């Protein structure tokens, strides 16, 4: 028996709610109508989360039909945390390393998240968990119908994903770079010119990081490379480079 506490998000027919379940706080994501596309997406998210038990990924407690129950993470989403502007460098690195640990595990399980953005990262002090596997692709399973729809937020989206390619884990690593850039500068890469960049206009320039974060420039620029071959090839390598930087941050 769930006792609702408050609504956390309402996105079209999907409601996300904080509730009490027995003695614990939980988050319930529930479909409010019979949309087949959203229902497929919810079921795919539940299937994916069943495979992903990891400290940096929200944990699935229960799922049934058009409902998913997660254990509640006491924190705020990164999008809320960024409303006050850029975050301190060492906190940004620690948060991003946690996100990468979650993604490393995800990718090793043959799953790509495809919607890494501040709103889908829950932060608790200097640690973080990845949420919302609603757009994830499990390479072991056949694609769901909504795979053909343009999904996600262009601000953090890799160019190849924007073109509709959905089979490269390095698209998630681009998104991580975009989130890190936002944490360090207070705004997402390319701001209003993002679509121009995504469609291949190489004259669009990235505003440099503030001088205090200059030591992270190489890492941020590499992860934001237009071509996947020029980015970090896996999450673990990016973690390694960031861990070295934290020593000097
Ligand atoms: N396990 C959790 N613990 C705490 N908060 C959570 C949890 N899961 C989700 N949330 C909060 O609820 C919000 C919405 O969840 P989620 O992103 O999974 O749903 P969504 O409908 O796909 O939202 P959106 O379309 O905005 O990405 C998240 O931004 C986060 O703040
Ligand atoms: Mg979300």
What is the mean pLDDT of the segment spanning 204-217? 95
pLDDT digit string, tens, across residues 107-137 = 999 999 999 999 999 999 999 999 999 999 9
Q: Is 46 left (phi over 0), alpha (psi -120 to 50) or beta?
A: alpha
Residue 42 has phi, psi (to 5 degrees) of: -65, -40
| Residue whose CA is at the smallest distance from ligand 1 atom 21 | 11
Nearest Cα to Cα of residue 14 among 30, 36, 28 = 30
What is the mean pLDDT of the segment spanning 26-54? 94
Question: Could you tell me the distance, in angstroms and rounded to a whole number, from the CA of residue 91 to the centre of ligand 1?
Answer: 22
User: Given this model, what pLDDT does residue 145 score?
Assistant: 47
Catalytic residue (choose from 23, 98, 115, 167): 115
Q: Of all atoms in ligand 1, which is nearest to the CA of residue 8? A: 12
What is the mean pLDDT of the segment spanning 220-244? 97
Clarify whether 115 is annotated catalytic: yes
- Report the C-alpha gap between 111 and 51 in whole angstroms: 9
What is the mean pLDDT of the segment spanning 5-17? 94
Question: Could you tell me the distance, in angstroms and rounded to a whole number, from the CA of residue 217 to the centre of ligand 1?
Answer: 30
CATH 3.30.200.20 intervals, the chain: 3-71
* 81-90: long-range pairs with CB below 8 Å, 24+: 81/118, 81/123, 82/118, 82/182, 82/183, 82/186, 85/186, 86/183, 86/184, 86/185, 86/186, 86/210, 87/183, 87/184, 89/184, 89/212, 89/213, 89/216, 89/249, 90/126, 90/246, 90/249
pTM of the predicted structure, to 2 decimals = 0.95
CA within 13 Å, CB half, 221: 11
Burial of 246 (0-12, 13-18, 19+ CB in 10 A): middle
Ligand 1 pocket member 209 (CB < 6 A): no
pLDDT band of 148, cuts 50, 70, 90 = very low
Average pLDDT, the chain: 93
pLDDT digit string, tens, across residues 66-104 = 999 999 999 999 999 999 999 999 999 999 999 999 999
Place of tokens 């997402």: 188
76-245 under CATH 1.10.510.10, yes or no: yes
The domain defined by 3-71 folds into Phosphorylase Kinase; domain 1 (3.30.200)
């Amino acid at each position: 028996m769930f006792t609702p506490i408050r609504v956390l998000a309402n996105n079209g027919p999907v409601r996300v709610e904080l509730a009490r379940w027995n003695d614990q706080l939980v988050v319930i994501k529930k479909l409010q109508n019979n949309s087949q596309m959203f229902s497929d997406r919810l079921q795919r998210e539940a299937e994916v989360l069943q495979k992903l038990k990891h400290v940096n990924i929200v944990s699935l407690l229960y799922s049934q039909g058009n409902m998913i129950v997660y254990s509640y993470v006491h924190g705020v989403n990164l999008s809320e945390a960024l409303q006050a502007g850029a975050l301190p460098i060492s906190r940004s690195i620690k948060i991003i390393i946690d996100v990468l640990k979650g993604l490393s595990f995800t990718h090793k399980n043959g799953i790509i998240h495809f919607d890494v953005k501040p709103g889908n990262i829950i932060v608790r002090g200097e640690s973080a968990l990845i949420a919302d596997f609603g757009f994830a692709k499990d390479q072991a399973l056949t694609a769901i119908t909504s795979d053909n729809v343009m999904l996600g937020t262009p601000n953090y989206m890799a160019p190849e994903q924007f073109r509709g390619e959905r089979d490269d884990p390095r698209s998630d690593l681009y998104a991580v770079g975009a989130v890190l850039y936002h944490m360090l500068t207070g705004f997402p890469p390319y701001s209003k010119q993002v679509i121009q960049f995504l469609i291949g206009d190489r004259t669009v320039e990235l505003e440099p990081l503030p001088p205090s974060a200059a030591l992270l420039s190489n890492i941020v620029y590499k992860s934001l490379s237009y071509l996947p071959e020029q980015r970090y090839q896996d999450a673990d390598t990016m973690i390694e480079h960031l861990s070295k930087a934290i020593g000097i941050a």
